[in-house]
A and B are shown apart, each in its own frame.
Chain A
Amino acid sequence: MSTLAVDYFDGRSSRPQRAALSVQDGRLRVERADAAPLEVPLREVRWPERTRHGARIAQLPDGAAVQALDVAGWDAWVAANAAPDSLVVKAQQSWRGTLVACAALVVLVVAGYLWGLPVAARAIVAFIPATVDALAGDQALQTIDGRWLKPSKLPAADQERLRAAFAEGVRKTYGAKAPPWRLEFRSGKIGPNAFALPGGTMIVTDELVAMVASDDTVLGVLGHEMGHVAHRHGMRQLVQVSALGAVLSVAFGDYGTFITTVPLVIASMGYSRDAEREADEESVRFMRAAGISPLAMVGFFEGVKKYRKDKGMPDGPGIAFSSHPADDARIEYFRRAAGR
């Protein structure tokens, strides 16, 4: 029967006592120099995990503890007499196990990003009642209205014409399954622009209507925004970004927040580009149902290009940091949809 020399602590004072450990019939025996021997059931001892660096301290059930004097001797003794390494420890202590874990992690993270999280977000959003979307959308519109937007100067007749044509297109595209929507015109500091808020409110600026100068193009853009509404992209993005943030803070938790910001932005921009592509598909579906050629959307991108050039605006940031796919790819998509 082999014994192991350790420092014993009684849990009530900081004075170490030399002791010897031995195991008999599933019980751990602690022989102390100046006190009666102690016996505890082996499975009530909390053994430390084997690591390359660091102390070995085993916690005994009554608040006492023993610490190794010689770590290598401890590891050999514990493995032979008390507690073999767990699977986790074996993986951690071999570079091969670490590499396998590393590869599995990369595969899981990539799969989770590409499929897992989007599917989960869709499922979660299905559980969120539509009234939450509407509340969030109203809240956002109030904020934006106060700061960025002014009432539209577009003649009421033009507004009505566009609204009626859009309603007709929605009816033809979505039929009875059309989600609730509301079309609002505004002008303001954001230039030619259109966007959809959660809950189905879509905003088009006078500047966009003037820039494209074609009802078909405005309707194509609205079809795109309706795609965001139908897929509840706003809520899905909220769920996805929250989940990504949580994952990143778990992985890189205790070393400042700045380091997690960049991957979070890049990853959520990736989701945003996916949503734009999905909305472009919806736009094509809408235009086909409404009898508009998808080429109408090409006019929109050309208009934006010209507008940027006239205003001397620089091109956007690199694609990884962009919320939208490259214009050229999107033009190509609409051309193809038009059969040219």
Chain B
Amino acid sequence: MDAHHPVEGARAPNGAPSEVKVYDIEFTASGSEYFRIWIVNLLLIVLTLGLYLPWAKVRKLKYFYSNTWLDGHALDFHGEPRKMLRGTLLVGVFLAVYSQAGQVSPWAALVAAIAFVAVWPLLFRASMRFRLSNTSWRGMRFRFTGDAGGAYLAMLPPLAMFLIPFSIIGVAAEGMTEKAAGDFVGRFAALTLLAFLVAFPYFFWQIKRYQHGNYAYGQMKAELRATIGGFYGVFLKTLGVALLPVAAAGAVIGLMVAAGMGKGFLIVLIIPLILAVMLYGNIVPKAFAVSRLQNLVWGRTGNRYFKFSSDLAFSPYAKLQLKNFLLIGISGGFYWPFAVVANRAAQIEAVSLRTKIELDALAGAAQRGESDAAGDAAADLFGLDVGM
């Protein structure tokens, strides 16, 4: 519970009725309409050499938000494009410097990696604050209550573990002979990567706890009650799903060789087999991970008064991804906005809200939008979103 006092006219949660109500979240955007929005946005972005980007982004967000409904009212976005333009430029310059540092020297790359690790948690927090405080439902803004310390605790270990070792390798290998450097780099990189993979579900759990545990609306603050075991479960199963077809393809080829089939026949078969495995590898494991993680994370987000649940089924979701993938390819990219809307619809409509309090009874201090638009731009550039 947050420390905000109930405002006049709203009922405190304690006095609320205890019967449980379930609300489905609805998504009413249409692919053809988003296509029209997308194409006009793209044209304006190209004409202005990218300066229109924040206006395009706000339009897109407002379209998606105004089509996301809970109990008869839709979400709304309040970000101001002019402020977001500054953020976009700032983060663009930072990223450009970071990505080119490696071209100059290993030392520059190391310095850039350390700077990136130091700044990224702050940017992440800023992006969450910006996005949440500029999102409203029934006129009232959401909030993100995470502090900078929490962001560092959740994100410093994985970032440091992933980015810094590779830069140190670059610096350390500089003075070695070719062979020694090769051996050293190979072993060190393999070890680091293995350790990172083993720890990845733990890191992911920490980040999601920081994220979902700091969402707030009115006097309600969410918690993420998922345990670490759930995360390891999803990642292990994803690994299995990813490796399954490789094993199956190997078995098929092995059987055919054992059955004494001709070399020519094998060569004919091998190309479709490789294509099928590639297609599978690009779609199915990701669809599995996305659907299971959404169910895990959103299904455990809530507090004693309300709780979300999510039932995004893997198999239809994977079929949707396959369909999107093929149609985007066939249409030369023009199906893309339709695919985005279909994907969002599947994800959002899987979520529902169970609540013991009246949705009318929530209240909080008046919130103004955070002006920290750099964070939002960073979130976009790094491909990060609220997760839904």
Q: Which of chain B's residues have a CB closer than 8 A to the CB of A51?
A: 33, 37, 63, 66
A123 on interface, CB distance cutoff 8 Å: no
Bound complex: CA A208 to CA B9 (Å): 86
A13 touches B10 (CB 8 A): yes
Q: Which one of B36, B328, B363, B385 contacts A98 once the chains associate, using CB atoms below 8 Å?
A: B36
Bound complex: CA A9 to CA B74 (Å): 12
Bound complex: CA A97 to CA B7 (Å): 48
B340 touches A255 (CB 8 A): yes
Q: Which of A238-257 contact B (CB under 8 A)?
A: 242, 246, 250-257
A105 touches B333 (CB 8 A): no
A67 touches B67 (CB 8 A): no
Q: Which of chain A's residues have a CB closer than 8 A to the CB of B136?
A: 11, 65
Q: Which of chain A's residues have a CB closer than 8 A to the CB of B367?
A: 11, 63
Say whether, besides A101-B39, A135-B103, A258-B282, A13 and B363 are in contact (CB < 8 Å).
yes
Question: What range describes how many residues of B lie at the interface?
Answer: 35 or more
A101 touches B103 (CB 8 A): no
A250 touches B39 (CB 8 A): no
Bound complex: CA A244 to CA B37 (Å): 22
B227 on interface, CB distance cutoff 8 Å: no
Say whether, besides A55-B67, A65-B139, A105-B39, A12 and B364 are in contact (CB < 8 Å).
yes
Q: How far is the CB of A6 from chain B (nearest CB, A)?
A: 11
Q: Which one of B28, B44, B50, B103 contacts A54 once the chains associate, using CB atoms below 8 Å?
A: B28
B140 touches A13 (CB 8 A): yes
A13 touches B368 (CB 8 A): no
Bound complex: CA A48 to CA B103 (Å): 46
Bound complex: CA A108 to CA B62 (Å): 27
Q: Which of chain A's residues have a CB closer than 8 A to the CB of B363?
A: 12-14
A340 on interface, CB distance cutoff 8 Å: no
Q: Which residue of B lies closest to A69 (CB)?
A: B72
B46 touches A10 (CB 8 A): no
A16 on interface, CB distance cutoff 8 Å: yes
Question: What range describes how many residues of A lie at the interface?
Answer: 35 or more
Bound complex: CA A136 to CA B66 (Å): 49
A: which residues have CB within 8 A of B? Answer: 7-16, 48-49, 51-57, 59, 63-65, 67, 88, 91-93, 95, 97-98, 101-102, 104-105, 108-109, 112, 132, 135-136, 139, 145-147, 242, 246, 250-259, 263
B: which residues have CB within 8 A of A? Answer: 7, 9-10, 28-30, 33, 35-37, 39-40, 42-47, 50, 53, 59, 62-63, 66-67, 69, 73-74, 76, 78, 99, 103-105, 136-141, 178, 181-182, 217-218, 282, 286, 324-325, 328, 333, 336, 339-340, 343, 359-368, 380, 383, 385
Knowing that A53-B28, A242-B99, A251-B333 touch, tell me 20 more A-B residue pairs with CB under 8 angstroms. A11-B141, A13-B140, A13-B218, A14-B138, A14-B361, A49-B59, A53-B30, A65-B76, A67-B139, A98-B35, A104-B43, A109-B46, A147-B182, A250-B45, A251-B42, A252-B333, A253-B383, A254-B340, A255-B336, A263-B333
Chain A to chain B contacts (Cβ below 8 Å), 11 pairs: A7-B73, A11-B140, A14-B359, A52-B30, A54-B67, A55-B66, A63-B367, A64-B139, A101-B43, A250-B45, A257-B383
